[in-house]
Amino acid sequence: AWDGRPAAPPDLAFADPRQDGLGFRILIPENLKEKLSGLIGADLVDATEYEAHRIALGVPRGGLDFMYSDAFPHETNMDRLAGVDFDKGCYVGQEVVSRMQHRGTARTRSVKVLLDGPSPEAGATILAGDKPVGTIGSTSGGKGIALVRIDRVADALDAGQPLTAGGLALKLAEPDIVRIPTKQPIA
């Protein structure tokens, strides 16, 4: 349910803290979906519809859009999606995360991309000309999430170079995102 609070949230429901548009996650057996939908006054969707919605909003998912051991929190927009508490005490990696936050030095970011036609395979290298600039993650319905080097993509856009992945064209859904200082939150 992502269009407001359910009238009566069930016990296994929680608001997704990453972005308001993600609404509530409700975990129930598939055979109870229709009955519960009527009881709580909310449209419930299955995992496939949820994934398409998440991708359309540009919210990356660990294990699909990035590998946990290969990315810093800022690179996966955790700083912009309530995934990092900058007031918390000590934690593993705190020094690097704090430095990236205060210096605005995240060179890689998760971005929304638009696909015209078939989707490239997850993990395909994104190229600007023949230069690698990122990796494609999840895709659904002509939209996708990519992990890109923002400086390289900004240079490619300025030079008018098209972006491709697996030989297929793609565009940034919000091209100016690669020019936003990394310390500022996305509206």
Tens place of pLDDT for every residue, the chain, 187 residues?
556 666 555 567 888 889 889 988 888 888 888 888 888 888 888 889 999 999 999 999 988 898 888 888 888 888 888 888 878 778 777 787 777 787 777 889 999 999 988 999 999 999 999 999 999 999 999 999 999 999 999 999 999 999 999 999 999 999 888 876 655 555 4
Is residue 19 exposed (0-12), middle (13-18) or buried (19+ Cβ within 10 Å)?
A: middle
How far apart are alpha carbons 185 and 187 in whole angstroms? 6
Structure tokens at 124: 């395909």
- 68-179: what fold? Elongation Factor Tu (Ef-tu); domain 3 (2.40.30)
Rounded to two decimals, the pTM is 0.81
Domain range annotation of the chain: 13-45, 68-179
d(CA 144, CA 171): 10
141 to 18, 44, 58, 116, 145: CA distances (angstroms):
22, 19, 13, 10, 12
